[in-house]
């Protein structure tokens, strides 16, 4: 009688990690990565503005915050989809 071994490998969701490097509320083409810009990057699954993901974007992207106060002070910024103009809205799709 033969013995058959089955190896099951758990499939883990991949995702990028972004750590903002400024507490300023900005949404521009500068070199900094703000919280607003980091959220835009994870929602669009792509590097955006000054934010560069550490790893491939996917279903399990994360934004890690260093200690500090991250005020979201800009008003009148539309959400980043084709029907709106320019992105920059803060749409948190899931939090831990």
Over residues 29-83, the pLDDT tens digits come to: 888 999 999 999 998 999 988 999 999 999 899 999 999 999 888 876 654 544 4
Q: How confident is the model at residue 88 (pLDDT cuts 50, 70, 90)?
A: low
What is the signed CA dihedral for 58, 63, 64, 66, rounded to 10 degrees?
150
Residue 12: which of 60, 57, 54 has the closest Cα?
Answer: 60
pLDDT at 59: 87
pLDDT at 13: 66
Segment 2-14 shows an average pLDDT of 52
Please tell me whether residue 17 adopts helix, strand or coil conformation: strand
Largest CA distance in the chain: 72
Of 93 and 47, more confident: 47
Asked whether 66 and 58 are in contact (CB, 8 A), the reply is: no
Domain boundaries in the chain?
15-74
Say what the pTM is. Answer: 0.72
């Amino acid at each position: 009688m033969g013995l058959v071994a089955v190896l099951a490998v758990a499939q883990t969701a991949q995702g990028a990690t972004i750590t903002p490097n400024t507490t300023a509320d900005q949404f521009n083409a500068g070199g900094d990565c703000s919280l607003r810009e980091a959220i835009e990057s994870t929602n669009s699954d792509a590097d955006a503005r000054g934010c560069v993901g550490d790893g491939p974007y996917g279903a399990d992207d994360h934004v890690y915050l260093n200690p500090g106060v991250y005020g979201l002070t800009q008003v009148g910024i539309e959400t980043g989809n084709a029907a709106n103009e320019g992105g920059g809205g803060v749409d948190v799709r899931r939090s831990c």
